[in-house]
A and B are shown apart, each in its own frame.
Chain A
Amino acid sequence: MMASLLSTEKLTKHFGGITAVEDCSITVQEGSITGLIGPNGSGKTTLFNLITGIYKPEAGDVYLRDECITRAESDKICQRGLSRSFQITRLFWDLSVLENMIVPIRHTGLRALFGPGMFHEEEERALALLKRVGLAYLKDQPANKLSFGQQKLLEFAAILMADPEIVLLDEPAGGVNPSMIRFIMDLIRGLNDEGVTFLVVEHNMGVVMELCDHVLVLDQGRKIAEGPPEMIQTNPAVLDAYLGI
């Protein structure tokens, strides 16, 4: 049985009168591509925010491998090997494409801190990643000059620079044309083969069905079902949540 890389245990988060996430316990197996689906408002992004340290939960815990990261700061969580993308792409808009690649770091330390901006190895890695996503020819362009799809690719490539073990993707296929969706899916699969675990929030069911080997379903802040993709399509709880049937 594969080891659990990321898990949450009875996470609960309130915002004033609204309970965004309630008693939520999920597990992401190492080496998997796990999907996270659910109707709008089911708490998926809040869950991401809880995992990555933007919010602190009222109850429950988050574990990365065996380490409890519930109260950890976002930068420490990233340094432990967890990276994430945002639903609305977030980049360093005034910095260049290449600079956006260099900022994410896994290691601090005096040499890394004060040494010349781009060490040779890192610039090579950055360029290789940019090549892989087809953005290398734009490397000196400010990020705000990129097209929407290119920005999404850049965000993806940049979070890979931190050499994460697990990547949380928030709607990677959102608002993107079909050829790029295909490309992103191939990219995810390729990286997964190389050992990166993924937790993907996605509304595009085609992507979920084809890409994920395991799916978690949230509704109103709780996990209501989980299983292989095919199971989800027939699970009555899921249908009820989405369609009210």
Chain B
Amino acid sequence: MFKRLTRWWPLPALIILLIYPWIWRAPYYHVLGFNMLLFATMASSWNIMGGYTGYKSLGHSAFFGLGAYLVALAAVHWGWNPLLSAPLLALVVALVAVGLGWVMLRTSGSAFVIATIAMLLIFRLLTLNLRSITKGAPGLSQPLPPWTPEFSRMPFFYYMLAWVILVVLTSAYIRRSRFGLGLLAIRDDEGKAKMVGVNTTLYKMLAFGISAYFVGVGGGVWSYFATHISPVFAFDIIVGVEMILMTMLGGLGTLWGPVVGAFILIPASDFILFNFGSTSIHLAIFGALMALVILFLPRGILPTIKDWIAERRAPSQAHAEALTMAEMQAASERDLALVDSSVPKVKSGTEQANR
């Protein structure tokens, strides 16, 4: 029964999400819900790079802002419907990410982090200064959504829900693929991964591009949602930091960690903002929270829970006993006969990756 719960919990959660806007009808809840889904999508996207490969980009909001501006400009100049153009223009964002990744991934992890910050700042400064295109600091407005005020935020909610599902499916697919295994190997020991034939540069570039895609979509949708965007808000480093914090809170490198983290952090952040008003102390609390998570819950909520459950079921053994060669081979012959008839093959490899 418990096992079935751990496997199938997304389903009731999905149902709750589907009816959520109809139960809580005040626009505030729709906005909250939208933000939760938006960040769940973007955090999951970031996780594909930061969680699976270990390369933590601190400047990911560059892709958020880029997506926002591309979609806004397309809406203003060509009348493109953002809900349709976002997935398309996010491909441009992904390509830019792959290109920049080619430059930035040649260096070690530390330099990579710095490069991503620089990347974000370059984007912001360019946006501020290329006034002829972006209208500079005052920002850019696009046409309001056509649907009636009664529904005002609901379509955004459902649209984002679809994207959460898509990003989680993508993330799950990647983990089960050879590609995903390669990414985990890179995180574990990049030098060794290269030695055994993994084209680490290509893998990292691809992961980076994919991780930028959904963030680009998020930015595009947000620009429609907010109607008015400006460089300071579109290229805010905090957006990227939130993606990281949520992922770490939920469980870095896990499938659902970012989603769980987003669903906890967005309401909490809202609560803090509401009660402490001024944005500055909000920052301090945010930073303090982040420090606490890093210091005391470094693996995140989901892995900690998982370990706790696993420990109760079967206390961990230290090293596998060193048997003699003959004993090991006999055991291998025996167990192999059992293995062939047991669980489907795809599952066996991914249990370990699900940490």
Contacts and interface: CB of A to CB of B under 8 A. Distances in A.
* Complex: A in contact with B (CB within 8 Å): yes
Interface of A: 52, 54, 73-75, 78-79, 83-84, 86, 90-96, 98-99, 102-106, 108, 112-118, 120, 123, 127, 130-131, 134-142, 145-150, 158-159, 162, 179-180, 183
Given A108-B199, A136-B336, A114 B177 contact: yes
B51 interface: no
B277 to A, nearest CB: 44
B311 interface: no
Contacts of A91: 189, 192
A116 B321 CA distance: 32
Given A104-B197, A115-B178, A137-B331, A54 B191 contact: yes
Contacts of B202: 108
A146 B321 CA distance: 8
Given A102-B178, A147-B319, A179-B324, A95 B196 contact: no
Interface stretch (B37-45, B70-78, B130-138, B345-353): B345-353
A93 B319 CA distance: 13
Contact of A140 (B197, B319, B325, B352): B352
B150 interface: no
B82 to A, nearest CB: 29
Interface in B180-217: 180-182, 184-185, 188-189, 191-200, 202
A92 B184 contact: yes
A163 to B, nearest CB: 10
B352 A103 contact: no
B312 interface: no
B320 A162 contact: no
B196 A104 contact: yes
Contacts of A120: 345
Given A94-B355, A118-B349, 19 more contacts: A54-B195, A74-B194, A78-B194, A86-B192, A92-B193, A94-B184, A95-B184, A105-B178, A105-B196, A105-B197, A113-B178, A117-B180, A117-B349, A117-B350, A136-B335, A140-B351, A141-B320, A146-B319, A183-B325
Nearest to A119: B178
Contact of A96 (B197, B200, B352): B352
A140 B348 contact: yes
Interface string B300-336: 0000000000000000011111101100110111111
